[in-house]
A and B are shown apart, each in its own frame.
Chain A
Protein backbone atom coordinates (compact mmCIF):
# COMPACT_ATOMS: atom_id res chain seq x y z
CA UNK A 1 0.00 0.00 0.00
CA UNK A 2 2.85 2.32 0.93
CA UNK A 3 4.53 1.64 -2.38
CA UNK A 4 1.33 2.41 -4.35
CA UNK A 5 0.88 5.63 -2.38
CA UNK A 6 4.47 6.67 -3.15
CA UNK A 7 3.94 5.99 -6.87
CA UNK A 8 0.68 7.99 -6.88
CA UNK A 9 2.41 10.94 -5.18
CA UNK A 10 5.28 10.78 -7.65
CA UNK A 11 2.88 10.76 -10.62
CA UNK A 12 0.91 13.66 -9.16
CA UNK A 13 4.15 15.61 -8.70
CA UNK A 14 5.20 14.89 -12.31
CA UNK A 15 1.81 15.96 -13.67
CA UNK A 16 1.83 19.14 -11.58
CA UNK A 17 5.34 20.03 -12.79
CA UNK A 18 4.30 19.40 -16.34
CA UNK A 19 1.21 21.63 -15.99
CA UNK A 20 3.33 24.41 -14.43
CA UNK A 21 5.74 24.20 -17.35
CA UNK A 22 2.89 24.39 -19.81
CA UNK A 23 1.47 27.44 -18.07
CA UNK A 24 4.89 29.15 -18.16
CA UNK A 25 5.25 28.42 -21.86
CA UNK A 26 1.80 29.86 -22.57
CA UNK A 27 2.75 32.99 -20.65
CA UNK A 28 5.91 33.29 -22.78
CA UNK A 29 3.85 32.98 -25.95
CA UNK A 30 1.57 35.74 -24.84
CA UNK A 31 4.55 37.97 -24.08
CA UNK A 32 6.14 37.31 -27.52
CA UNK A 33 3.30 37.08 -30.03
CA UNK A 34 5.57 37.67 -33.07
CA UNK A 35 7.72 34.65 -32.30
CA UNK A 36 7.03 31.85 -34.83
CA UNK A 37 4.88 28.98 -33.67
CA UNK A 38 7.40 26.35 -34.69
CA UNK A 39 9.94 27.77 -32.20
CA UNK A 40 7.44 27.61 -29.37
CA UNK A 41 6.67 24.08 -30.24
CA UNK A 42 10.37 23.27 -30.13
CA UNK A 43 10.60 24.87 -26.66
CA UNK A 44 7.82 22.66 -25.44
CA UNK A 45 9.58 19.67 -26.88
CA UNK A 46 12.78 20.50 -25.00
CA UNK A 47 11.14 21.31 -21.70
CA UNK A 48 8.42 18.73 -21.65
CA UNK A 49 9.48 15.27 -20.76
CA UNK A 50 7.64 12.07 -21.53
CA UNK A 51 5.18 11.37 -24.35
CA UNK A 52 4.41 14.97 -25.29
CA UNK A 53 7.11 15.48 -28.02
CA UNK A 54 5.84 12.67 -30.21
CA UNK A 55 2.39 14.24 -30.38
CA UNK A 56 3.57 17.80 -30.95
CA UNK A 57 6.17 17.10 -33.70
CA UNK A 58 3.50 16.42 -36.29
CA UNK A 59 2.26 19.98 -36.95
CA UNK A 60 5.85 21.14 -37.65
CA UNK A 61 6.33 18.52 -40.30
CA UNK A 62 2.95 19.32 -41.78
CA UNK A 63 3.77 23.01 -42.08
CA UNK A 64 7.02 22.32 -43.94
CA UNK A 65 5.23 20.11 -46.45
CA UNK A 66 2.46 22.57 -47.15
CA UNK A 67 4.62 25.65 -47.84
CA UNK A 68 6.28 24.55 -51.13
CA UNK A 69 2.93 23.54 -52.58
CA UNK A 70 1.59 26.98 -51.86
CA UNK A 71 4.65 28.57 -53.51
CA UNK A 72 4.15 26.45 -56.63
CA UNK A 73 0.56 27.56 -56.81
CA UNK A 74 1.62 31.21 -56.59
CA UNK A 75 4.22 30.72 -59.33
CA UNK A 76 1.66 29.03 -61.55
CA UNK A 77 -0.67 31.97 -61.10
CA UNK A 78 2.15 34.37 -62.04
CA UNK A 79 3.15 32.39 -65.10
CA UNK A 80 -0.33 32.03 -66.54
CA UNK A 81 -0.61 35.47 -68.20
CA UNK A 82 2.64 34.90 -70.18
CA UNK A 83 1.06 32.03 -72.10
CA UNK A 84 -1.58 34.30 -73.60
CA UNK A 85 -1.51 34.82 -77.34
CA UNK A 86 -0.09 38.21 -78.31
CA UNK A 87 -1.85 40.36 -80.84
CA UNK A 88 0.06 43.23 -82.44
CA UNK A 89 -0.91 46.65 -81.16
CA UNK A 90 0.32 48.28 -84.35
CA UNK A 91 0.42 46.92 -87.87
CA UNK A 92 2.58 47.92 -90.80
CA UNK A 93 4.86 50.23 -88.87
CA UNK A 94 7.86 51.27 -90.90
CA UNK A 95 11.05 50.11 -89.23
CA UNK A 96 13.71 52.57 -90.26
CA UNK A 97 17.28 52.37 -89.08
CA UNK A 98 18.04 55.89 -87.97
CA UNK A 99 20.90 57.73 -86.40
CA UNK A 100 20.28 60.78 -84.26
CA UNK A 101 21.97 63.92 -85.52
CA UNK A 102 23.20 64.97 -82.11
CA UNK A 103 22.98 64.03 -78.47
CA UNK A 104 19.57 64.88 -77.06
CA UNK A 105 19.25 66.87 -73.86
CA UNK A 106 15.71 65.67 -73.31
CA UNK A 107 14.29 62.23 -73.77
CA UNK A 108 10.96 62.92 -75.41
CA UNK A 109 8.47 60.28 -76.43
CA UNK A 110 6.20 61.42 -79.25
CA UNK A 111 2.51 61.32 -78.36
CA UNK A 112 1.57 58.72 -80.97
CA UNK A 113 4.28 56.41 -79.65
CA UNK A 114 3.25 57.03 -76.05
CA UNK A 115 -0.33 56.11 -77.01
CA UNK A 116 0.91 52.87 -78.51
CA UNK A 117 3.22 51.75 -75.75
CA UNK A 118 0.78 52.42 -72.96
CA UNK A 119 -1.05 49.33 -74.18
CA UNK A 120 1.97 47.15 -73.44
CA UNK A 121 2.17 44.99 -70.32
CA UNK A 122 4.42 46.31 -67.57
CA UNK A 123 7.56 44.30 -68.39
CA UNK A 124 7.38 44.94 -72.13
CA UNK A 125 6.65 48.61 -71.47
CA UNK A 126 9.71 48.89 -69.24
CA UNK A 127 11.88 47.11 -71.77
CA UNK A 128 10.67 49.34 -74.60
CA UNK A 129 11.30 52.53 -72.63
CA UNK A 130 14.75 51.31 -71.62
CA UNK A 131 15.54 50.49 -75.25
CA UNK A 132 14.22 53.88 -76.31
CA UNK A 133 16.49 55.67 -73.83
CA UNK A 134 19.40 53.48 -74.91
CA UNK A 135 18.75 54.32 -78.57
CA UNK A 136 18.97 58.02 -77.78
CA UNK A 137 22.09 57.47 -75.72
CA UNK A 138 23.91 55.53 -78.46
CA UNK A 139 22.35 57.74 -81.14
CA UNK A 140 20.94 54.87 -83.19
CA UNK A 141 17.86 52.68 -82.90
CA UNK A 142 19.43 49.40 -83.95
CA UNK A 143 22.17 47.06 -82.83
CA UNK A 144 22.94 43.57 -81.64
CA UNK A 145 20.42 41.82 -79.41
CA UNK A 146 21.98 39.83 -76.59
CA UNK A 147 23.65 39.80 -73.21
CA UNK A 148 25.57 43.03 -73.71
CA UNK A 149 22.43 44.91 -74.60
CA UNK A 150 20.62 43.37 -71.63
CA UNK A 151 23.39 44.64 -69.36
CA UNK A 152 23.59 48.07 -70.96
CA UNK A 153 19.89 48.78 -70.65
CA UNK A 154 19.91 47.72 -67.02
CA UNK A 155 18.06 44.42 -67.22
CA UNK A 156 20.82 42.39 -65.61
CA UNK A 157 18.44 40.68 -63.24
CA UNK A 158 16.67 38.95 -66.13
CA UNK A 159 17.89 35.61 -67.40
CA UNK A 160 18.83 35.29 -71.06
CA UNK A 161 15.65 33.36 -71.81
CA UNK A 162 13.49 35.96 -70.07
CA UNK A 163 15.17 38.72 -72.05
CA UNK A 164 14.70 36.74 -75.26
CA UNK A 165 11.04 36.31 -74.40
CA UNK A 166 10.66 40.05 -73.79
CA UNK A 167 12.21 40.75 -77.18
CA UNK A 168 9.96 38.23 -78.89
CA UNK A 169 6.93 39.69 -77.15
CA UNK A 170 7.84 43.22 -78.23
CA UNK A 171 8.32 41.90 -81.77
CA UNK A 172 4.92 40.21 -81.55
CA UNK A 173 3.35 43.48 -80.43
CA UNK A 174 4.87 45.02 -83.55
CA UNK A 175 7.20 47.53 -81.92
CA UNK A 176 10.52 45.76 -82.41
CA UNK A 177 12.10 43.98 -85.32
CA UNK A 178 14.43 41.08 -84.57
CA UNK A 179 16.63 39.64 -87.29
CA UNK A 180 18.50 36.37 -86.87
CA UNK A 181 21.94 36.92 -88.36
CA UNK A 182 23.54 33.62 -87.45
CA UNK A 183 22.66 30.85 -85.04
CA UNK A 184 23.87 32.94 -82.10
CA UNK A 185 23.60 36.49 -83.39
CA UNK A 186 20.51 38.63 -83.54
CA UNK A 187 20.00 42.26 -84.38
CA UNK A 188 17.14 44.50 -83.41
CA UNK A 189 15.54 47.60 -84.85
CA UNK A 190 13.43 49.57 -82.42
CA UNK A 191 10.40 51.36 -83.78
CA UNK A 192 10.81 55.13 -83.45
CA UNK A 193 8.67 57.60 -85.40
CA UNK A 194 10.97 59.23 -87.93
CA UNK A 195 11.70 62.90 -87.35
CA UNK A 196 13.61 64.75 -90.04
CA UNK A 197 14.85 67.41 -87.66
CA UNK A 198 16.63 65.12 -85.28
CA UNK A 199 17.24 61.93 -87.25
CA UNK A 200 18.99 60.70 -90.37
CA UNK A 201 17.43 57.79 -92.22
CA UNK A 202 20.00 55.05 -92.84
CA UNK A 203 17.92 52.23 -94.27
CA UNK A 204 14.53 50.61 -94.02
CA UNK A 205 14.41 47.25 -92.34
CA UNK A 206 11.97 44.79 -93.83
CA UNK A 207 9.86 42.50 -91.72
CA UNK A 208 10.86 38.86 -92.22
CA UNK A 209 8.49 37.12 -94.57
CA UNK A 210 7.55 33.49 -94.20
CA UNK A 211 9.72 31.71 -96.72
CA UNK A 212 8.70 28.44 -98.33
CA UNK A 213 10.28 25.48 -96.62
CA UNK A 214 13.56 24.33 -98.11
CA UNK A 215 15.00 20.82 -97.87
CA UNK A 216 16.69 20.22 -94.51
CA UNK A 217 20.04 19.30 -96.04
CA UNK A 218 20.22 22.55 -97.96
CA UNK A 219 19.43 24.54 -94.81
CA UNK A 220 22.26 22.89 -92.95
CA UNK A 221 24.76 23.82 -95.63
CA UNK A 222 23.80 27.48 -95.72
CA UNK A 223 23.20 28.94 -92.25
CA UNK A 224 21.21 32.10 -93.02
CA UNK A 225 23.77 33.97 -95.11
CA UNK A 226 21.32 36.43 -96.65
CA UNK A 227 20.03 37.66 -93.32
CA UNK A 228 23.51 39.05 -92.65
CA UNK A 229 22.82 42.01 -94.91
CA UNK A 230 21.27 44.70 -92.80
CA UNK A 231 21.69 47.43 -95.40
CA UNK A 232 21.15 46.46 -99.03
CA UNK A 233 22.83 48.87 -101.40
CA UNK A 234 20.74 49.46 -104.50
CA UNK A 235 23.72 50.41 -106.66
CA UNK A 236 25.24 47.01 -106.02
CA UNK A 237 22.22 45.04 -107.25
CA UNK A 238 23.17 42.69 -110.03
CA UNK A 239 21.64 43.03 -113.45
CA UNK A 240 18.68 40.78 -114.20
CA UNK A 241 20.03 39.41 -117.45
CA UNK A 242 23.13 38.12 -115.67
CA UNK A 243 21.07 36.41 -113.02
CA UNK A 244 19.33 34.31 -115.63
CA UNK A 245 22.65 32.96 -116.82
CA UNK A 246 23.91 31.93 -113.42
CA UNK A 247 23.78 28.15 -113.21
CA UNK A 248 23.63 28.08 -109.44
CA UNK A 249 20.72 30.48 -109.37
CA UNK A 250 17.42 28.66 -109.18
CA UNK A 251 14.81 29.98 -111.56
CA UNK A 252 11.26 29.53 -110.32
CA UNK A 253 9.83 26.14 -111.15
CA UNK A 254 13.20 24.84 -112.25
CA UNK A 255 14.30 23.17 -109.08
CA UNK A 256 13.21 19.75 -110.18
CA UNK A 257 14.04 20.26 -113.80
CA UNK A 258 16.28 17.40 -114.91
CA UNK A 259 17.62 19.53 -117.74
CA UNK A 260 18.79 22.18 -115.33
CA UNK A 261 20.45 19.61 -113.08
CA UNK A 262 22.31 18.23 -116.09
CA UNK A 263 23.42 21.73 -117.00
CA UNK A 264 24.82 22.29 -113.51
CA UNK A 265 26.82 19.09 -113.75
CA UNK A 266 28.00 20.14 -117.19
CA UNK A 267 29.22 23.53 -115.89
CA UNK A 268 30.97 21.91 -112.95
CA UNK A 269 32.82 19.51 -115.28
CA UNK A 270 33.72 22.32 -117.69
CA UNK A 271 35.24 24.37 -114.86
CA UNK A 272 37.26 21.35 -113.71
CA UNK A 273 38.46 20.76 -117.26
CA UNK A 274 39.45 24.41 -117.63
CA UNK A 275 41.34 24.23 -114.33
CA UNK A 276 43.36 21.32 -115.67
CA UNK A 277 43.89 23.05 -118.98
CA UNK A 278 45.21 26.39 -117.71
CA UNK A 279 47.18 25.00 -114.77
CA UNK A 280 47.01 25.76 -111.07
CA UNK A 281 48.97 29.03 -111.15
CA UNK A 282 46.93 30.52 -113.99
CA UNK A 283 43.68 29.37 -112.42
CA UNK A 284 44.67 31.18 -109.21
CA UNK A 285 45.29 34.34 -111.25
CA UNK A 286 41.91 34.02 -112.95
CA UNK A 287 40.30 33.59 -109.53
CA UNK A 288 42.05 36.73 -108.29
CA UNK A 289 40.79 38.66 -111.33
CA UNK A 290 37.30 37.30 -110.68
CA UNK A 291 37.38 38.54 -107.10
CA UNK A 292 38.46 42.02 -108.18
CA UNK A 293 35.88 42.09 -110.97
CA UNK A 294 33.00 41.03 -108.70
CA UNK A 295 34.01 43.57 -106.07
CA UNK A 296 34.17 46.34 -108.66
CA UNK A 297 30.95 45.46 -110.41
CA UNK A 298 28.64 44.21 -107.67
CA UNK A 299 30.17 45.67 -104.52
CA UNK A 300 31.99 44.36 -101.49
CA UNK A 301 28.88 43.01 -99.81
CA UNK A 302 28.53 40.41 -102.56
CA UNK A 303 32.09 39.28 -101.84
CA UNK A 304 31.34 38.73 -98.19
CA UNK A 305 28.11 36.87 -98.91
CA UNK A 306 29.37 33.39 -99.70
CA UNK A 307 26.25 32.23 -101.58
CA UNK A 308 26.04 35.24 -103.83
CA UNK A 309 29.76 35.19 -104.37
CA UNK A 310 29.58 31.59 -105.57
CA UNK A 311 26.85 32.55 -108.02
CA UNK A 312 28.81 35.42 -109.50
CA UNK A 313 32.05 33.48 -109.51
CA UNK A 314 30.38 30.73 -111.53
CA UNK A 315 29.08 33.37 -113.90
CA UNK A 316 32.56 34.79 -114.27
CA UNK A 317 34.01 31.33 -115.04
CA UNK A 318 31.30 30.79 -117.64
CA UNK A 319 32.44 33.94 -119.42
CA UNK A 320 36.16 33.38 -118.86
CA UNK A 321 36.21 29.75 -120.06
CA UNK A 322 33.63 30.18 -122.83
CA UNK A 323 31.18 27.77 -121.25
CA UNK A 324 27.75 27.96 -122.97
CA UNK A 325 24.97 29.62 -121.02
CA UNK A 326 21.95 27.56 -120.01
CA UNK A 327 19.86 28.78 -122.95
CA UNK A 328 22.60 28.12 -125.48
CA UNK A 329 23.38 24.75 -123.98
CA UNK A 330 19.69 23.78 -124.10
CA UNK A 331 19.50 24.80 -127.76
CA UNK A 332 22.60 22.80 -128.61
CA UNK A 333 21.01 19.80 -126.92
CA UNK A 334 17.98 20.29 -129.10
Chain B
Protein backbone atom coordinates (compact mmCIF):
# COMPACT_ATOMS: atom_id res chain seq x y z
CA UNK B 1 0.00 0.00 0.00
CA UNK B 2 2.79 2.38 0.92
CA UNK B 3 4.49 1.71 -2.40
CA UNK B 4 1.30 2.38 -4.38
CA UNK B 5 0.46 5.67 -2.70
CA UNK B 6 4.05 6.77 -3.30
CA UNK B 7 3.61 6.15 -7.03
CA UNK B 8 0.37 8.14 -7.03
CA UNK B 9 2.01 11.00 -5.13
CA UNK B 10 4.90 10.96 -7.59
CA UNK B 11 2.37 11.41 -10.42
CA UNK B 12 0.90 14.35 -8.52
CA UNK B 13 4.28 16.04 -8.14
CA UNK B 14 4.90 15.43 -11.87
CA UNK B 15 1.73 17.41 -12.56
CA UNK B 16 3.06 20.19 -10.29
CA UNK B 17 6.22 20.45 -12.37
CA UNK B 18 4.31 20.45 -15.62
CA UNK B 19 2.00 23.21 -14.38
CA UNK B 20 5.03 25.47 -14.04
CA UNK B 21 6.01 24.75 -17.65
CA UNK B 22 2.45 25.06 -18.99
CA UNK B 23 2.03 27.88 -21.50
CA UNK B 24 -1.28 27.32 -23.26
CA UNK B 25 -4.92 26.72 -22.42
CA UNK B 26 -4.76 23.41 -24.28
CA UNK B 27 -1.88 22.14 -22.12
CA UNK B 28 -3.70 23.37 -19.05
CA UNK B 29 -6.83 21.44 -19.96
CA UNK B 30 -4.82 18.24 -20.37
CA UNK B 31 -3.21 18.76 -16.98
CA UNK B 32 -6.56 19.47 -15.37
CA UNK B 33 -7.97 16.24 -16.80
CA UNK B 34 -4.93 14.36 -15.53
CA UNK B 35 -5.37 15.90 -12.12
CA UNK B 36 -9.06 14.94 -12.01
CA UNK B 37 -8.27 11.37 -13.04
CA UNK B 38 -5.46 11.10 -10.51
CA UNK B 39 -7.63 12.54 -7.77
CA UNK B 40 -10.30 9.93 -8.53
CA UNK B 41 -7.66 7.22 -8.48
CA UNK B 42 -6.26 8.36 -5.15
CA UNK B 43 -9.75 8.63 -3.65
CA UNK B 44 -10.53 5.13 -4.87
CA UNK B 45 -7.26 3.87 -3.47
CA UNK B 46 -7.76 5.48 -0.07
CA UNK B 47 -11.40 4.47 0.14
CA UNK B 48 -11.42 4.60 3.94
CA UNK B 49 -10.49 8.29 3.88
CA UNK B 50 -7.71 10.47 2.51
CA UNK B 51 -4.67 10.90 4.78
CA UNK B 52 -4.10 14.53 5.73
CA UNK B 53 -0.83 14.92 3.84
CA UNK B 54 -2.37 13.49 0.66
CA UNK B 55 -5.36 15.82 1.02
CA UNK B 56 -3.02 18.79 1.44
CA UNK B 57 -0.96 17.78 -1.60
CA UNK B 58 -4.12 17.45 -3.74
CA UNK B 59 -5.41 20.85 -2.65
CA UNK B 60 -2.01 22.42 -3.31
CA UNK B 61 -1.91 21.09 -6.86
CA UNK B 62 -5.48 22.25 -7.40
CA UNK B 63 -4.52 25.73 -6.20
CA UNK B 64 -1.55 25.75 -8.61
CA UNK B 65 -3.83 24.78 -11.46
CA UNK B 66 -6.35 27.52 -10.63
CA UNK B 67 -3.60 30.09 -10.32
CA UNK B 68 -2.09 28.99 -13.62
CA UNK B 69 -5.41 29.22 -15.41
CA UNK B 70 -5.75 32.79 -14.14
CA UNK B 71 -2.25 33.63 -15.38
CA UNK B 72 -2.84 32.31 -18.88
CA UNK B 73 -4.31 34.72 -21.46
CA UNK B 74 -8.07 35.17 -20.94
CA UNK B 75 -10.21 32.65 -22.78
CA UNK B 76 -11.47 33.84 -26.14
CA UNK B 77 -15.25 33.83 -26.03
CA UNK B 78 -15.88 34.98 -29.60
CA UNK B 79 -16.73 31.48 -30.89
CA UNK B 80 -18.97 30.96 -27.89
CA UNK B 81 -21.30 33.77 -29.02
CA UNK B 82 -21.61 32.55 -32.63
Point out residues on A near B: beta carbons under 8 Å: 99, 101, 139-140, 200, 202, 221, 228, 230-231, 247-248, 264-265, 267-268, 271, 283-284, 287-289, 291-292, 295, 300-301, 303-304, 306, 309-310, 313-314
Residue in contact with B80 in the complex, picked from A231, A288, A303, A314, CB distance below 8 Å = A314
Measured in the bound complex, the distance between the Cα atoms of B45 and A12 in whole Å is: 93
Residues of B bordering A, CB below 8 Å:
29, 32-33, 35-36, 40, 43-45, 47-48, 62, 65-66, 69-71, 73-75, 77-81
The residue in chain B whose Cβ has the minimal distance to the Cβ of A181 is: B33
Partner of A304, one of B32, B43, B79: B32
Chain B: minimal CB distance from A287 (Å): 4
Residues A268 and B75 in contact, CB atoms below 8 Å apart: no
Set of chain A residues within 8 Å of B70, measured between Cβ atoms: 287-289, 291-292
Q: Which B residues touch A268, using CB under 8 A?
A: 77-78, 81
Chain B residue contacts of A304, Cβ below 8 A: 29, 32-33, 35-36
Task: Given contacts A231-B40, A268-B81, list 15 more A-B pairs with CB under 8 A.
Answer: A99-B47, A139-B44, A139-B45, A248-B81, A283-B74, A284-B73, A287-B74, A288-B70, A295-B62, A303-B66, A304-B29, A304-B32, A306-B75, A310-B75, A313-B77
**Least distance between A238 CB and chain B CB atoms (Å):** 17
- Which residues of A have CB within 8 Å of B43? 202
| A248 and B75 alpha carbons, distance in the complex (Å) | 14
Give the residues in chain B near A140, CB-CB below 8 Å.
44
Residues of A within 8 A of B71 (CB): 288
